[in-house]
Amino acid sequence: QSALTQPRSVSGSPGQSVTISCTGTSSDIGDYNYVSWYQQHPGKAPKLMIFDVIKRPSGVPDRFSGSKSGNTASLTISGLQAEDEADYYCCSYGGPYTLVVFGGGTRLTVL
Amino acid sequence: QVQLVQSGAEVKKPGASVKVSCKASGDTFTTSYIHWMRQDPGQGLEWMGIISPSGETTSYAQKFQGRVSLTRDTSTSTVYMELSSLRSADTAIYYCARDKDTRMVTPTDWGQGTLVTVSS
């Protein structure tokens, strides 16, 4: 069982927007702005898409955005494209004993 | 951007140990914290631990305490992850990743992954 809770799957049509949620606790997401999001295509390593809740690494399209409210973080992808179909994982600081915790992952299907 | 290249796939028997390497290119590796994660086939990601730039400091997830060891050879820009007392549940893809800064919370640049299969 993962430390952070994500929906198993979401879907959307090209051009639409989708939001993936990631729920933690007041000890991780709620207390720290150290949420990151990763995109993983089949057979590939994860790729950092968002860090520090809202920041995008260089080269990541601005269609990807992050936010946080209380113990829940969210990743929104606007203007869905076929290449966005992938698994998405959230990640947060997990405290002094397990520094990093991940969500169970969400499969995004572009219809 | 730092590129991380991991060693090849391994097949081990239950009870054995495995040592996976992660070699980096680029000057920033010498100042980078390195994370290790694993991913069960078709499943999610799990954080295992982190090692400091000097190799003197490590932190491990509670689940792996006593079974995992991270070491670092600064002369060859290589980090090693050794997992002992292997069982079938340790069959997974193991990833190393460089952190973007010293806060140790954002695995940023990832290696390609190493499949470790534990089978009798």
Q: Is the pLDDT of residue A37 over 80?
A: yes
Decide if B55 contacts B71 (C-beta within 8 A).
yes
pLDDT along chain B (120 residues), means of 10: 91 98 85 95 92 93 95 92 97 96 91 97
CA-angle at B92, arms to B89 and B96, nearest 5°: 130
Taking chain A, what is the end-to-end CA distance rounded to the nearest angstrom? 29
- Residue A1 confidence (pLDDT): 65
Please report the number of interchain residue pairs, chain A to chain B, with beta-carbon separation below 8 angstroms.
66
Phi/psi of residue B55, nearest 5 degrees? 85, 0
Nearest CA in chain B to A37: B106
The Cα A12–Cα A30 span in angstroms is: 28
The C-alpha of B23 sits at a distance from chain A's nearest C-alpha, in angstroms, of: 16
Say if the Cβ atoms of A105 and B106 lie within 8 Å. Answer: no
Reduced 3-state DSSP string for A87-105: EEEEEEECCCCCCEEEECC
Q: Contacts of residue B100 in chain A, CB cutoff 8 Å?
A: 51
Cβ within 8 Å, pair B47-A46: no
Chain B residues 48-87 within an 8 A CB cutoff of chain A? 50, 59, 61-63
pLDDT for the residue A95: 85
B105 Cβ under 8 Å from any chain A Cβ: yes
List, for residues A68-91, the tens digit of each pLDDT value: 999 999 999 999 999 999 999 999
SS3 A56: coil
Query: Are residues B23 and B77 in contact, defined by beta-carbon separation less than 8 angstroms?
Result: yes
With contact defined as beta carbons under 8 Å apart, do A87 and A105 qualify?
A: yes
From chain B, pick out residues whose CB is under 8 angstroms from the CB of A45.
Answer: 95, 110-113
- The values of phi and psi at residue B28, to 5°, are -70, -15
Contacts of A59 (CB under 8 A, 6+ apart): none
Beta strands in chain A (DSSP E): 9-12, 18-23, 36-40, 47-50, 64-69, 72-77, 86-93, 100-102, 106-110
Give the rounded percent of residues in chain A with a pLDDT score beyond 70: 98
SS3 content of chain B, % helix, strand, coil (to 5): 10, 50, 40
Contact B103 A34 (CB under 8 A): yes
